[in-house]
Structure 1
């Protein structure tokens, strides 16, 4: 894909086994939740000098964990021409990319996502970073990888709920850009063993790759990739990641669809309701609007004038706008009444 430094995103069975890097000294950052087989495959292909295992999920996206990773790289005396490789879900690749961006002011980075969410979203585009107690992804850097390897065979071991979480990003790409993805994601054929899956995965990745190529540092249309994420990130923060990112995005997309309808857009809520019914996200606890709104105010799309939301005029017609607080609160009530009984 393009950008400041073009790189290749490989999507094919066996991509992990065929992965190679032109660096003699490398560090592999590994998600602790990975099956041993995936780690063994990666180590055999990439022969890292240093392997650092980090907590699974967002527990790894902290300044403390980042500090530990950087100390391991320094203790190994890895030089400027070394490389960092992230192997795991989106949180792991976010952390590994940020470690690469900050160690010695930047070394090469490679990404080997092992979840659907990581492949469709986190591993592509060069956004790296960690969280703060005040909010998600508030510390980070744009640091594009040198290559991304998406191997659908590693998805075969994912628990069904984790696979469905990742589908939220693919469905989002259908809403904002490629409506053909909507039916394909909800199809019984949408699983890693099906012959059509690699093409659907490639098409979902292509949406993000195209946007990022045109807007690497989120000066314009890249913000559209955050459809559903303003509320989602707030839910993650308020629940202390008791609701996963993918589940939160599913809920957040429905809120954004309700807001879009409220502001005069086409009613796309049947699509987001259908996705929630398919995704079966974890039940929400009781949520207070004011608690969530405090986190939404720190959203990355916010500016000195307030919070901005990505909404839809229609399928594949996203836009960025401010929404009055009274509208946010009123529609939140509608959203809460819909999602809480259905998933409690």
Structure 2
């Protein structure tokens, strides 16, 4: 864990370590007189290796940063903070060394410096152990994060696979449903069309039969009228007027019926669909043909009536000339119809 370091706290720590180590050095110096010279050599070696240690720490930080990237920024900051703490300790040692130099003689200074070297060594070992623990903890956290990430990735892949399978099943169901509904709708439309077609054909057949029956009746009536007209030619001198009236009424009646029939068929044809319209058009054409035939027949009857009128006039003139009396027999309404 990173500690907040101040100059005051650092000096206090150094002084405590210094007092303790100074005592140990003095006791060891009594037992080993040559230790001072060895300590001087060690001091030179330590000064030489201090530069190498500083450089190796910076190089190690750079290598860790390159290999681990952004995830090691925090470790870098911690290492730099510890390194800064170490530099502060060194600076404090130098300050204390200068102070001790003024207070003590060369031997005392040498002893103090040796004690500070030992304190620095202990601080370095403590720092390295702490960095080792931090590194191990970081590696454990990285391994744990990788395991969690792998598990999360596998879970994500499973969820994605399940989602795609479910989506595929859903689309398949919707497609089958659509095809089934389309089939039912088309079958329903086909059935409705067949029913409408059958109904229309039946209606047209009924109308055709009724029309043919009506035409037959009209033809019968016309034949009957022609027969009556022939009989009336010899009845009286007023026969031409009655005949003209009867023919006119019959013509009017037939024309009105045919016109009403035509209008009805035209309106009915306009309301049907394109297929029904074609059938109705055929019916209308047939009706128009029948009307044309009836008009020709009426025209023929009119011509016959005119001819009959002329004949009746001739007969009347001959009758007048012969001074013959002709009894007039009124024509009944039912015979005219």
TM over 0.5, shorter chain: no
More helix by share: 2
More strand by share: 1
Bin of the TM-score, shorter chain as denominator length = under 0.3
Q: TM-score, normalised by structure 2?
A: 0.16
Pick 1 or 2: higher relative contact order, CA cutoff 8 A, min separation 6. 2
